[in-house]
Structure 1
Amino acid sequence: MMDIIENDLRRLDLNLLLTFRALLEERSVTRAAQRLFLGQPAVSGALKRLRAAFGDELFVRTPHGIEPTPRAFELARQIEPLLVSLHRTLTQPPVFDPSSAQRVFRVGLTDALEVALMPEIMSRVARSAPGVKLIMRTAEASSAPGMLDEGVIELAVGVFRECAAWHRREPLFRWRFVCVYNPRLVAVRGKALSMDEFLQHRHLLTSFNAGLHGYIDEQLEVRNQRRQVVFSSPNFATSPFIVQRTPAITTVPDFIAGAWRDTLGLAVSPLPLKVPSYEVSLLWTASNAQDPGIAWLASEFAAAFGTAGRH
């Protein structure tokens, strides 16, 4: 069926339909040519192609110009809504109405960002866009750009130090590492962990490489210091429950530490070691830059980051 449709459409183009419309309204080849800013031979040639395509004279000569045939009037009735709709599609900017939208978005991010953000995001979506559905995909900074290019996800959230020319990036906020522990099990003399207190306790590590040695350990080695890492996992989900039950410390981004503190009654302390902060951004492809749905979703994430940043 599609082959038949394609073969039929090859005989026509939009310019022929515009010529047909001008001939129908002007009832003159000369006036139609002037209206279309074309030469009269070009309009006569287009009319010849129209006649061949539809198998009908379409317009017949009279002493007063040209008159449409019954077939031409029938075609006009069917073609006019098509041209109006096409014009509206080409000239009006795309819109996205969250309240009535029925759409599925796929987002790539780490589990830490998912834990910190998605409760707020889903709360906002439930209120403003009840027909929208979100699918989360695990995406690290190294894998997210490729997932965007392949169409696996439409939006990525994370730390992206570089941005390809065909990607678009919007900074959201900066985060730092902080320490999380159970204040009933880890005694702290002051308002924050000292370096001695930090080193004397056991540690849990989130390591995407499944190791017991991470960035914090590298920084400690520069100072000829060492901590005791007794647990490592590529996920953040388990660590707060271990910390809740054992006298141990885990060092995580401040945006997830705030969520753990508020829900599990844990304590948060600055890291007793100077380390840089990191910028979290939204990332999407340039081909989606004019998608109003993506723009809306990006604004929701920006608002949710603002809420998360207050923890």
Structure 2
Amino acid sequence: MEIINENDLSRVDLNLLVVLLVMYEARSVTGAAQRLYLGQPALSAALKRLRAMFGDPLFVRSSQGMIPTPRAEQLVQQFAPLLQGMHRAIFSKPAFNPRQDRYSFRLAMSDWIEQWLMPDLLAELLVDAPQVDITVLTADPWQVTPLMEKQQADVAVTVGNPVSRDLTRAEIASAGFSTLWDSQQIALTAALTLAEFVRYEHVLVSYRGANESALDEQLQQQGVARRVRYVTPHFSALPLMLKRLPLFATVPQGLVSNWCERFGLRAAPVPVAMPDYQLSLLWHNARHDDDANRWIRDKLHQLLLRKRL
């Protein structure tokens, strides 16, 4: 790409190029002045500046009006498409057409949200937006804010309450937790009680390797504790653990129906009070008015509302 000398361009009045093109079409100082809503003296002054800028008469009087010189012909051929492109860039905001446009979105979320949402979203896009691709970036609640501040993703689906002056967060829905187990490994004859809950060992998802969570704080208030036997950052590891070992896993409600159907697990309400989690969309303020970004946000918003529990 050729280097632009900003000092050269700063001395150029781009309005003069508009005068050049209108003069070329009107072939008359009076006609060009009327089209530009200028007085004839102002148009004559602009033409004088154009001639000085290019070192050429540009237009000469004849019985047929102001005839362009070869230099004017050359300049019009060069500038007309440039000014037309500039006009489109300034005044024609391109609209995103999901049925026709090819686009690749980068969405940030944790693995359980991906399991819960993305099969439905991708199925919709195959019908509604066949040229749209999705790349998912792993983003737990601790990763999501810096990732979005750097604009490494278009939209994040997250829990918690991330705060940043660079980002916009829209709270969509709240949901709770359930406890899962395999009936071949833990045979409960009645509802899941607190005593049964702490009798067996647990698996825990922790993005930072902690072996306690808000659930353990609730248990302490009841004067009991559980043993966490296995800690992982991946929800996807839990179903196979439950199928082989007598373990409980307490997971977001969004995973429950799918895991019970696919893996034959049982589910019950957590036997202590647990605060709900808040599902939110997060995006950078720089993308707030972007047509494509607004479209995928709306898609995610509608999907979250349909699937909330």
* TM-score tier after normalising by the smaller chain length: 0.7 to 0.9
Which residue number in structure 2 is paired with residue 224 of structure 1? 223
Q: Determine the C-alpha separation between the residues in 2 that align with 1:155 and 1:21.
A: 44
Matches within 5 A, 1:264-303: 264-303=263-302
* Native 8 Å contact 1:112 1:236 kept in 2: yes
Q: Determine the C-alpha separation between the residues in 1 that align with 2:153 and 2:49.
A: 45
CA-CA distance at 1:100 after TM superposition: 2.1
Q: Letter of the aligned partner of 1:223 in structure 2?
A: Q
Please state whether the residue corresponding to 1:210 is helix, strand or coil.
coil
* Native 8 Å contact 1:94 1:291 kept in 2: no
Which residue number in structure 2 is paired with residue 83 of structure 1? 83
CA-CA distance at 1:39 after TM superposition: 6.0
Which residue number in structure 2 is paired with residue 93 of structure 1? 93
Q: 1:75 to 1:227 in 2, by over 3 A?
A: same
Please state whether the residue corresponding to 1:173 is helix, strand or coil.
strand
Q: Determine the C-alpha separation between the residues in 2 that align with 1:105 and 1:90.
A: 25
* Native 8 Å contact 1:154 1:294 kept in 2: yes
* Native 8 Å contact 2:106 2:136 kept in 1: yes
Matches within 5 A, 1:104-123: 104-123=104-123
Q: 1:4 to 1:167 in 2, by over 3 A?
A: closer
CA-CA distance at 1:204 after TM superposition: 0.5
CA-CA distance at 1:17 after TM superposition: 2.3
Q: Letter of the aligned partner of 2:227 in structure 1?
A: Q
Q: Letter of the aligned partner of 1:211 in structure 2?
A: A
Which residue number in structure 2 is paired with residue 212 of structure 1? 211
Please state whether the residue corresponding to 2:223 is helix, strand or coil.
coil
Q: 1:271 to 1:83 in 2, by over 3 A?
A: same
Which residue number in structure 2 is paired with residue 305 of structure 1? 304
Which residue number in structure 1 is paired with residue 200 of structure 2? 201
Which residue number in structure 2 is paired with residue 150 of structure 1? 150
Q: Letter of the aligned partner of 1:235 in structure 2?
A: H
CA-CA distance at 1:217 after TM superposition: 0.8
Please state whether the residue corresponding to 1:16 is helix, strand or coil.
helix
Q: Determine the C-alpha separation between the residues in 1 that align with 2:200 and 2:103.
A: 48
Q: Determine the C-alpha separation between the residues in 2 that align with 1:254 and 1:98.
A: 31
Q: Letter of the aligned partner of 1:280 in structure 2?
A: L
Please, what is the CA RMSD of the aligned residues? 2.8
Q: Determine the C-alpha separation between the residues in 2 that align with 1:243 and 1:283.
A: 33
* Native 8 Å contact 1:11 1:53 kept in 2: no
Which residue number in structure 1 is paired with residue 127 of structure 2? 127
Q: Letter of the aligned partner of 1:275 in structure 2?
A: M
* Native 8 Å contact 2:174 2:308 kept in 1: no
Which residue number in structure 2 is paired with residue 243 of structure 1? 242
Q: Letter of the aligned partner of 2:207 in structure 1?
A: F
* Native 8 Å contact 1:203 1:250 kept in 2: yes
Which residue number in structure 2 is paired with residue 256 of structure 1? 255
* Native 8 Å contact 1:106 1:137 kept in 2: yes
Which residue number in structure 1 is paired with residue 19 of structure 2? 19
Which residue number in structure 1 is paired with residue 232 of structure 2? 233
Please state whether the residue corresponding to 1:2 is helix, strand or coil.
coil
Q: Determine the C-alpha separation between the residues in 1 that align with 2:6 and 2:133.
A: 35
* Native 8 Å contact 1:168 1:284 kept in 2: yes
Which residue number in structure 2 is paired with residue 183 of structure 1? 183
Q: Letter of the aligned partner of 1:149 in structure 2?
A: E
Q: Determine the C-alpha separation between the residues in 1 that align with 2:223 and 2:299.
A: 44
What percent of counterpart residues are identical? 36
Tell me how many residue pairs correspond in the alignment: 309
CA-CA distance at 1:49 after TM superposition: 4.3
Gaps of at least 5 residues in structure 1 are: none
Q: Which range moved further: 125-134 or 81-90?
A: 81-90
Q: 1:200 to 1:260 in 2, by over 3 A?
A: same
Q: Determine the C-alpha separation between the residues in 1 that align with 2:305 and 2:257.
A: 13
CA-CA distance at 1:62 after TM superposition: 5.0
CA-CA distance at 1:35 after TM superposition: 4.2
CA-CA distance at 1:306 after TM superposition: 4.0
Please state whether the residue corresponding to 2:3 is helix, strand or coil.
helix
